Structure 1
Amino acid sequence: MLVNITVSGFPLLKLSPTVLSAVSRASRHPRVAPRAYIMPSAVNQSWGSPLSLKVIGHNAGTSMDGVDLVHVHFTQDSPVAPLNMQLLHYGEYPMPQKVKKRVMKLIKENKTTPEEMAIVNIELGQVIADAVKSFAKDQGFDLEREVDLIGGQGQTIWHLPLPELFEGDQMRAHLDMAEIAIIAADTSITSLGNFRVSDMALGRQGCPLFAALDSLLLNHPTLNRAVQNIGGIANFSILPKGKVEGCYDFDTGPGNVFIDAAVRYFTDGQQEYDKDGAMGAKGTVDQAIVDEILAGPYFVHDIPKTTGRETFGDRMAEDICDKMLAKGATPEDCVATITRITAQSLADAYERWGPKDGVDEIYMGGGGSYNPNIVNYLKQRMPKTRITYVDETGIPIGAKEALGFALLTHECFVGRPMIVPKNTESDKPGVVGQIQPGRNMHRIRQAVAQFWGDFPEEDIRCTTKMNLLPSLCR
């Protein structure tokens, strides 16, 4: 005869009366822990209830052109089963010009008041909340019924991961603004944020944060792959063939931030970016300027490294333009040269820090991936590499970083650490993010508790298997 053993109503295993008696005696012995008889490896994988959470991920990038949002459905049958991710909806919403100008002024001048900082934080929180509500309305889903969590990054105000590159008494720090209390209050949905600060607290640089997502989506057994994002700042994830946990990522330098600044400079703010690379295509590259900039301290600094407008701000781009204009260059020459700085910094980074046997495939994303002057240069420098776009995977080009924040949001609320990329200062695992409860907090907290059941906390590991289900985006 076998006796069924259950914990909190969940069947664990069957024991004979003889073994059961031995376990009972051992549990009363002060030096023997009955826990040793019931390990996760011996447990049926339906430890608790299957998990189903719908998440809105949002991202306000360094370019400050708008807010990207995704609506994602995460499901998982048990704590040891693969995580399933399905993209339901995707949308982009412009940053209100009044708010954008206020933030740009704050960043460019690098001086402010406590009052201004407080106002900007509240305003940006309201921008995200309004974008979320518009997103749900435009895509035709009910916010309170079909969203469990909202999470993402606010607008980056300050990002200084490498204080040693600056003069004076600096320290590693990050600040992005969009008050999550405003988002949670206005939407009634539990909201998460401060992922980058959480990563810094664990001894890392807070950026780019998406190597884990990229590796879960695209790691290949026989191909070295990379996922290239060209937003305001350019970064890529290297995905060495084989092990998912072998990924690493870093910022290569300016992406669109210099190009956008130059275009605004020459159009008196009437044009925000170089659409389809048209302005840069008409100019001639000043290679001496490119080489001078790429000899700068950030580009020669070893990985890990990340950066932001503190290093590559509008003033630096304008100074480059003024220097070239004084030598007789045209505005088109300036934009062409600044675009080459971005493109060449990418190719140089692949050569220096990519896999020794080369990169087989690059998946492009971010606004800069639409600039043919960048993409064509990469193809010339890397002729053996297949260069394609993220949307080949079913993910829209502009959606990937918002999708990354959706995953971070899910894993934070579930209480699971993310994969720690290689080539970082600290391999200390940890759950990243902060939570602002909404009116739905009790319900979703119960769902997560039922999912884990009695799964031992010390046995919780990062997600290393994820299935991307077919997208339902229209």
Structure 2
Amino acid sequence: MNVYVDQLHKIANKSRRVVVGLMSGTSLDGLDIALCHISGAGRDTELELLRFETKGYTDSFREQIRQVFAKRAVDQQVLCGLHALIGQTHGMLVNEALQEWGISRSDVDLIASHGQTVFHAPQSLTGTNDYPNSTLQLGDGDHLAVTTGIITISDFRQKHLAAGGEGAPLAAYGDYLLFSDMRETRVLLNIGGIANFTLLPPPEGNGNPCFATDVGPGNTLMNQYMLAHLGEEMDRDARVAATGTVNKPLLDALLSHGFFEIPFPKTTGPELFNLAYLTDAQRATGTEGLSVPDVMATLSAFTAAAIVTAIRQAVQAYPTSHVYISGGGLHNPLLVEQLTNGLGGIAVSPFGELGLLPDAKEAALFAVLANETVAGKASDVSVILDSPAVCMGKISFPA
């Protein structure tokens, strides 16, 4: 028997596994690394976050990714090379984190790597049936496994696609296993580049299934605009947007896309919500001359309005609902204020109130998905609406 097959069998039979979850989102700010203790599987899963750190990307590495990020026409040599480079780089960042934490790689059972999304193309977004639903995450699992010497599970989204899903959002799987509550309906809102939420009715309640859905832009349009006009990666603490005034005609134009009428669950990405989308809306409303603060204020209002409308629609049938916010948008005080005001009557709290560091949530959830791959079963997540009941990820051995 291959030594790593035997090792994987032993890992699967452990009562508790040590898993490093990795997440790199569309903001391209860095690699989230979550060191987790996970025991059990399915609804018996218990997660303890031991360590967490975001390893920032260098400007040059970020620019290399931007050469292919959300672009239909790319240099194939760059695309091919980045698949290996991102895998190696993520592996080196994991090695750095483990060394800083005083953790031996022999003490880690698995790495769970989301990779770097560079293109998301479900048919609902592309508008064509010429190709099946597809998505592409770079960061080869074999390179990660060889660089770290740790068995790696990666490329989770492909199984979701192969089984009939759209490849996103995957948060519903881990959210359901870890955070369902018998008393309240929970809305776990994540505001990354794209905003998405998981709706979690009480599992023994009225029989309504949980689901995860994208709702529109999170930080992506604001970040893209800041970079293009001020050379900044983000509007830190909403310092620019807070000085501007929302332009109602532009806001209405931004909210007029047919995507917002598609029933839940649905997916989207920066392939739709990008600077060209903003430019078209400004041209249609004659607002090309707006100041940078006014545009930023309007983009923040756009993100908030899309989220508020979607959540209010989703929780209509649930009298006791509570929204918990995670992701980079949690650190945007203007956006949080707009959401809280817009959701008046619905409780809103930071996700940390559920016992997990908000910034670590996505990386930790991929650790849970890896745990399900080796120790769970597909039926553990059979209640998730319009999402295939599957265990996801490809397994890469270090040698």
Q: TM-score, normalised by structure 2?
A: 0.90
In 2: Cα distance, 1:190 partner to 1:329 partner: 52
Specify which of 227, 238, 255 is matched with residue 264 of structure 1.
227
Following superposition, the deviation at residue 165 of structure 1 comes to 5.1
Aligned to 2:397: 437
Unpaired segments ≥5 residues, structure 2: 1-11
Unpaired segments ≥5 residues, structure 1: 1-47, 440-474
Following superposition, the deviation at residue 375 of structure 1 comes to 1.3
Following superposition, the deviation at residue 129 of structure 1 comes to 0.4
Aligned to 1:236: 197
Aligned to 1:90: 52
Conserved 8 A contact 1:192-1:435: yes
Residues 308-332 of structure 1 deviation map (CA, whole Å, 9 limit, x = unaligned)? 1111124324555677785542100
Q: TM-score, normalised by structure 1?
A: 0.76
Aligned to 1:161: 122
In 2: Cα distance, 1:81 partner to 1:374 partner: 33
Alignment of 1:10-159 (within 5 A): 50-76=14-40, 82-107=44-69, 109-143=71-105, 145-159=106-120
Alignment of 1:13-412 (within 5 A): 50-76=14-40, 82-107=44-69, 109-143=71-105, 145-163=106-124, 166=127, 169-243=130-204, 246-267=209-230, 269=231, 271-317=232-278, 319-320=280-281, 326-358=287-319, 360-412=321-373
Q: Secondary structure at the match of 1:106?
A: coil
Residues 93-143 of structure 1 deviation map (CA, whole Å, 9 limit, x = unaligned)? 112222211221223542123322210101111121011011112222112
Identity %: 27
In 2: Cα distance, 1:80 partner to 1:381 partner: 35
Q: Secondary structure at the match of 1:154?
A: strand
Following superposition, the deviation at residue 90 of structure 1 comes to 0.6
Following superposition, the deviation at residue 415 of structure 1 comes to 5.1
What is the RMSD of the two structures over their aligned residues, measured on CA atoms?
A: 2.4
Q: Secondary structure at the match of 2:299?
A: helix
Structure with max Cα Rg? 1
Q: Secondary structure at the match of 2:381?
A: coil
AA in 2 matched with 1:140: G
In 2: Cα distance, 1:402 partner to 1:65 partner: 14
Conserved 8 A contact 1:108-1:313: no
Q: Secondary structure at the match of 1:72?
A: strand
AA in 1 matched with 2:18: K
CA change 1:188–1:164 in 2 (3 A) is closer
Residues 181-237 of structure 1 deviation map (CA, whole Å, 9 limit, x = unaligned)? 111111111111111111111101111111132233332222111111000010001
